[in-house]
Each structure stands twice: as C-alpha cells, then as structure tokens.
Chains A and B, each alone.
Chain A
Amino acid sequence: MNQTLAMARRGRPGPAAPSGAGFADALRAEWTKLRTIPGTAWMLGAICVLTVAVSAGVTAATKCPVGSACAADTTKVSLTGIEVGQALVAVLAVLAISGEYSTGMIRTTFAAMPRRSVVLAAKASVLTSLVLVTASVAVAGSLAAGRLILPGNGFTAARGFALVSLAHGPTLRAAAGSVLYLALIGLLSLAIATIVRDSAVAAGTVLGLLYVAPIITLFLGGEPTWQRWLERYVPTNAGLAIEDTIGLRHLPIGPWGGLGVLAVWAAGALIIGALMLRFRDA
C-alpha cells in the first residue's frame, strides 16, 4: 500500500522500473522472501509458544510458602521465557541473511538491488516488524500467565504482591522494554550474521554472546571492577535489566540504560555489517 503510494508519487510505471530500486521495493522484496519461506511462520509461532511456555512453567514452579518472606520480582519471573525465546529470535534473524549466502541467492539479490546497505536496511525493517509483533504476543502471553498463576502460588495482594498488570508503571516499562529487547536481539543477530555470513558460525557467535558471556561474567567474581564492567556492557546482562521492577538501585545499570547498551551493540554491529557488505564480494 505504502509502496504503491510511493511509486505513484514518483510517477514510476510499476514493478519494471528501469533504474535501481528504491527502499520501498527493497522492503517489498524482503517481505516477500521472508513471508514465503515456510520456516518463518513456524519460527514466529515457536517464539510465542516457547516464550509463553517457559514463562508459565517458571511461574508455576515459583512458590512463596506461607510463613516465609519472599522478595520476588513477579514481573521479572513472569518474563523468564524471554531468556529462551531470544535464541529463536536470533536464529530467525541469522537465517534472514545467511540463508541467502548458503544458497547463493545473495548474488541475485545484489544484482537486483545493487545498493547493499538498502537491502540490509530493508531486511532489518522487515525482521524488526515481525519480531515486534511476535514479541508483543509472547510478552502479553507471559504476563497473562504470571497474572493467572502467581496469586495461587502465594504471591497474593495481602502479602504485598499486586497482580501483574500493565497499569503498573514499571511493569508496563518491563513489558514494552522486553518487546524492544527481542527486536534489538534480532537486529544484533542479523548484523552478526551479515558480518560472518556462514549460518552455523553466525548462530554460534550470537548464541555464545547471548549465553556464554553472562557465564564468564559470573566467574570473574574476584575482579569486582571487571565484573561490574561486564555486567554493564554484556548485551544480555545489560539488556535484561529492562525486566527488573524492584531493587532498581542495586542494579549494575538502569533499565533504560541497559537497553541503550544493547541498542548501541546492535547499531554498532549493523554499521560494521553494512560496511562489510559494501566493501566485500558477496
């Protein structure tokens, strides 16, 4: 629709434009590619199902027995599934570009759209829109599960635990932030896959960054300065600070600051990816 409008504005005859294609065409091409791969729909469904299932499983296992003091961050507990869902988002993003490299499709793409950074921007836009929609569903499902399950596990209003609700400012921030978090993870993964090209290597790199960096951070326990630094600047550690709703003063980095760190990672990787696309043979 937008694209038709854009073409109409520029007074172009239609799909068979003679000179290089614009961003709208690139968007449409990428949307068609991603939409017509059967894997995409499965992946998006899997992101929702896995995230909500893990969140629900964890909330069901989290109990506050009568008579004991609990200091649970009910919102963060409800959003635990993001920790696993992000792996699927990363895989989806990696496949969006390295799939083209493995089949050789990338050469066709660049022949049709010689402006490579436009292709990358279009891929990023299509991917981000898909992830934003999917993540919204996943986050909403996770919070709903928390809202339904937690009061039955002892997290009742009488004991100071309000129902998980988007009307609560910090919870709304955590929910919106988690959606953005997944979108940024998608962009970071897309960028890394653009840089390394091979799908297996890209998946290994992204998932290593997402999961092993926090483990190494943990083990640097004796070097408080290093550890503090890593907790602030490792993408997962920093980005997931957006889910915290209590004890914010003790966090190594604030919620929005943490998401900002992840955004800087994603932007930096995208710039490097765009430069490498431009100066490297496909």
Chain B
Amino acid sequence: MTPGTITPYRSRQTAKQDGFWQLAHAEWTKFRTLRGWMIAVVVAALLIDVIGLLVIRPHDQCGGSCWPSVPIGPGGEAVNDSFYLGRQPLAGNGSITVRVTSLTGATESGTGGRVLPGQTQSLRSDLMPWAKTGIIIKQSTRPGSAYAAIMVTGSHGVRMQYNYTGDLAGLPGTVSAASPRWLRLIRSGNTITGYDSANGSDWAKVGTVHLAGLAGTVQAGMFATSPLDFTPNFPNTYGESGGGNSPSLATGVLGHVSLRGGRPGGQWAGIEVGADGAGYSGPQIGFRQAHGQFTVTGSGDIGPVVSGGVNTSYDTETFAIHLDGGVFLALIIMAVIAAMFITMEYRRGLIRTTLAASPRRGRLLAAKALVIGLVTFVLGTAAVAAAVIIGTRISDDAGQYILPVSWLTEVRVIAGTGAMLALASVLALSIGAVVRRSVAAVATVIVVTVVPYLVGVTGVLPVSASEWMLRVGPAAAFAIEQSVPAYPQVIGQYAPPDYYPIAPWAGLAVLCGYAAVALALAAYLLRRRDA
C-alpha cells in the first residue's frame, strides 16, 4: 500500500446479505444478546425439571415395593394375567372346543343382587361387563406369556383376545342355558384361529392370530376371570360419579369339551395363574368337574394394565405426571418471549431498521420463527428428557409404578413435547406479529392452550365439552404426551393427563395447523401493512 492511496473500506460480507441463513443468524444474534431472555429460557427449561421432579407421589409406607412383580406381556406392556385355568398340555397342532352355558359373577361392592350363601365377605351377585370365561391356548402358565383365547363376556358378547392387547368381536348377546355359545380354538404352528357358534354346527370364524415363538407344547384349557369393579370417576359436580374399585369374580359353566391333539387319556387339572394379581381369593375360586360339566371360578383379568391404578391392586401412572406442571410454566415463559421477540421490535422502532436491512418480510418472519422454534425445541426436549428419565427412576424409588413403554414411545413423548413447546412459541410469535401487542398474543396463547387442559384435568367442564376442546383447540397437542394407549376392552379412567381424546400425532398436527395458519396470516399482514 503506497502512501496517498486510500483504500475504501469494503465489507468482507458477500453480496448476498439477506439470504435466509444470514437473516436467521441476525435474528439469533438479536435473541442471544438479550441477557434477560437467555436467562428466562434457561429458567423455563429448569422449571420443567424442578416441577416435574417435585411432583412425585411418595408412598412412604412401602419404600419401593408397593407392587408385586408386574407381568410384562409379549408387546412389552405391563399386563394383568390372573385367572383360574383348568388345563392340559397340548403338543403340536390341535384344537379345543367347548359349549358355554352360563356366566355369572359376584363383587364385594355389588348392590343389586343377593348375598351369596356361605360367604364371610359380603359378596353379592353382580356380573362385570368384562367378566370372561372360555378357552385359551397359552405358551405356559407363567403370567405374561403369549396366549390366544376365545371367550364369553359379561356384556360384550363373544370376544377373541390375544397377547393382552388384541381384541376381536364375535357373536353378540349374553349366554344362558337356552342360548349357549360354542367356542373353538385351532392351533396350527404359530397360528391360532378362533370360531364361535350358537348351535355347535354352524361355525363362524372370529379371527386368526399369530403368536411369535410359540412353543411346541402349550397349555390348552378352560378359564374364568373377572376384573376389578370400577366405574370411571368423573368429577361429580356434573353428576358423573363413580370411582373406587373392588374385587369381583366370575363363574363359567362349560360342557361338551373336546381336545384334539392332546395326550390320550389326559386329565384336566386346575391351577390359579398369577394369584398375586387376583383381586379376590376365597373358597369360591377353583375348577370343578361333575357329570361332564366343568365349573371354573376365577378373579383378576387377562389384559393390559391402565394408568391410575384402576385395574390393579397397586398405583400406576404414566410419566406424564412428571411433565405437565413444569411444561405449562415453560410454555407460558416461552410464549411471553416469543411474543416479545416481534412486539419488542415494534415498540423500539427496531422493526424499521430490520426491514431496511432485509426487505423481504416473509423471509424475516420465517427466520424469526426458525430461531424461536429451534431454541424452544432444543431446550424443551433436553429438559423433558431429563424429567422423564430421572423422574421414572425417582418414581420407582418412591414406590410409584410408571407403566413401561417402548423406547420409541419415550422418544416420541420427549421430542413431541419439545415440538409442542416450539409450535406454541411460533404461534405466540405469529399472533404477536398480527396484533403487534404482546399482551394480546400472550393472553391468547395461554387461554387457548392452558385453559382447555385445566378444565380437562379438574373437571370444571362436563366431560363431553372438555373432550371437544382438547380435540379441536390448540390444546390438542398435549395428546403427544400420552404414552400408553386406551383400550376399549378395559374399563379405565381415560382422561388427561394420561389419556387424551385424540391420537398423539394428530393432536400435534392440530397445533401445527394453528401455528401455520397464524404464521401465514402474520406474513401476509407484515407484507401488506406499514411497519
């Protein structure tokens, strides 16, 4: 450089100054350099963990051994597998056929019927809707092993159920001596096919199921069981009451039993499977044989465990309990920040500088949405992961049984909750850009997300109304936190925070839709309006 020559300053930036990534980088710088915001987002993330881990229900009285060894089904879910079984080994292929002529039941809480004779406990006759008796082909008598069964139920007709979660409908109607039900299971390799018939000659196929890894010799037999007597307990301000669960038992009368493929001259032997999980243990339980008729009386259930401890003798939860309180606080903090991310620019007049530097306004909004969405997603996901993983461990130690789920489900809940927070932030940002008033944006986001949830949990609204709000409103996204499915064949308390009235991804998609519409409207108005 010779003296006298002045080299004018030239920016080393390339000419493409309002490329999307430069914009996003600029927005990230704006976000990052406000210390208050950075502190707030970290606090939001920490709150998820602090509240999530505070909310443990300690069971001091049992110190980590509140539940018996819970059977785990072939699908990895916690199951009930308690019933009374009259069985024989079945080697290789074969079939079992019976005629069911009666299914009766009793509970300790029944009010309608008479007290059964010879009972010390006040058992009253009362048949549970999902009391069951029928025939079963089962890997072994170990609770949790694979099975397929066809059965008569209290008020749901003939069902074919398999591996705890599968449920297929057969002939409808109740069973009686005048209207018996014929049931048949045929094993061929790993395939089991169920048939039912009203007269023993016209058979209809109910279903064919495949039980992976079925042993060569399995147990085949007649069973009966009856789940805990439970009516969902919705807040009784609205006249929907229930709650409380008490043991029940079911008695099936079966005849015309024929087993093909069994050992010649084999005898039926009674055994109580999973006695730990049976609600009732008394002299009634058992397997009796007289004049070719078999009477089986059992208590318990063969099916999945649901949350809330409603069909078990121990308390069960999903890890949603570790999320909700903290996630809401985080959601509010992030909504406030996201709304301010745009309204602050209007208040300070910075928006004019911003728009002068990057005149493509839609792109600017996209960059802001990307930054706030990513920050929220990353921090939210990390915080939720910690709450879920540490929370499950602490719950375990505190004697709280968290229903096991597959790792895929766990990932879906963790990442999904992070995504829900991110979408709520984008929604707040977009509303902020539309109304340009942060109060309105914050209030709208909170009212549309938190309030439907609050009324869903506290039962301020009648169930039908709150379910509707949790289906069509942005609050539908909370469904992503549901980790265990609801089963129509198990009576449960299917209500938030464990169960939602919409499928997880569908719920998230609803919020996604709201955020997308708001963002599009915001981009349109940002282009049309003067800044």
Contacts and interface: CB of A to CB of B under 8 A. Distances in A.
Nearest to B398: A222
Contacts of B450: 207, 211-212, 215
Interface string A182-222: 00000000000000001111111001100110111011111
Nearest to B330: A212
B158 interface: no
* Chain B CB within 10 A, most for which of A57, A83, A219: A219
Main secondary structure of the interface of A (DSSP, over half): helix
B439 interface: yes
B257 interface: no
A204 B335 contact: yes
B446 A77 contact: no
Interface in B454-493: 454-455, 457-458, 460-462, 464-465
Contacts of B451: 83-84, 87, 211
Interface stretch (B94-102, B244-252, B339-347): B339-347
Interface in B410-460: 437-443, 446-447, 450-451, 453-455, 457-458, 460
B336 A201 contact: yes
Contacts of A123: none
Interface stretch (B3-11, B54-62, B65-73, B367-375): B54-62
Contacts of B446: 87, 203-204, 207-208, 211
Interface residues of B, number: 48
B457 A215 contact: yes
B332 A212 contact: yes
B462 A207 contact: no
B325 interface: yes
A198 B324 CA distance: 27
B33 interface: no
B524 interface: no
A70 B438 contact: no
Nearest to B59: A222
Contacts, number: 128
Interface in B316-354: 321, 324-325, 328-329, 332-333, 335-336, 339-340, 343, 347
B203 interface: no
Given A91-B443, A203-B443, A204-B333, A214 B347 contact: no
Contacts of A198: 340
A72 interface: yes
B120 interface: no
B267 interface: no
A61 interface: yes
Contacts of A94: 439
A69 interface: yes
Interface stretch (B177-185, B194-202, B233-241): B233-241
A80 B461 contact: yes
Interface size class of A (residues with CB under 8 A): 35 or more
Contacts of A84: 447, 451
A71 B336 contact: no
B454 to A, nearest CB: 6
A215 B239 contact: no
A102 interface: yes
Interface string B41-83: 0000000000100111111000000000000000000000000
A218 B325 CA distance: 9
B55 A220 contact: yes
Contacts of B347: 102
Contacts of A91: 439-440, 443
A102 B346 CA distance: 11
A207 B57 contact: no
B237 A58 contact: no
Contact of B439 (A68, A95, A211): A95
Contact of A220 (B54, B236, B329): B54
Nearest to A65: B239
A70 B329 CA distance: 35
Given A204-B336, A220-B55, A71 B460 contact: no
Contact of B454 (A58, A68, A215): A215
Interface string B148-173: 00000000000000000000000000
Contacts of B455: 83
Nearest to A200: B438
Interface string B489-513: 0000000010000000000000000
Contacts of B461: 58, 61, 80
B443 A87 contact: yes
A200 B442 contact: yes
Nearest to B54: A220
B396 to A, nearest CB: 14
A205 B440 CA distance: 14
Given A58-B461, A208-B329, A212-B328, A222 B439 contact: no
Contacts of A117: none
A172 interface: no
Nearest to B52: A219
A75 B380 CA distance: 41
A72 B239 contact: yes
A147 interface: no
A203 B238 contact: no
A207 B443 contact: yes
A64 interface: yes
B228 to A, nearest CB: 20
B465 A61 contact: yes
A207 B237 contact: no
Nearest to A207: B446
A69 B239 CA distance: 7
Interface in B240-282: 241
B58 A58 contact: no
A270 B237 CA distance: 35
Contact of A76 (B57, B237, B241): B237
Given A58-B465, A63-B462, A87 B447 contact: yes
Contacts of A222: 56-59, 400
B442 A204 contact: yes
A57 B465 contact: yes
Contacts of B237: 71-73, 76-77
Contacts of A202: 439
Contacts of B58: 222-223
Contacts of B464: 61
A232 B282 CA distance: 45
Nearest to B337: A200
A204 B324 CA distance: 17
Nearest to B440: A91
A136 interface: no
Contacts of B343: 200
> Which 3 A-B residue pairings sit nearest by Cβ, starting from the closest?
A222-B57, A70-B239, A200-B438
18 contacts: A71-B236, A72-B237, A77-B238, A87-B447, A88-B443, A95-B439, A199-B437, A207-B447, A211-B328, A212-B450, A215-B325, A215-B454, A219-B51, A219-B497, A220-B54, A220-B55, A221-B57, A222-B400
Given A76-B237, A200-B343, A212-B332, 6 more contacts: A72-B237, A98-B439, A199-B437, A200-B442, A212-B328, A216-B329
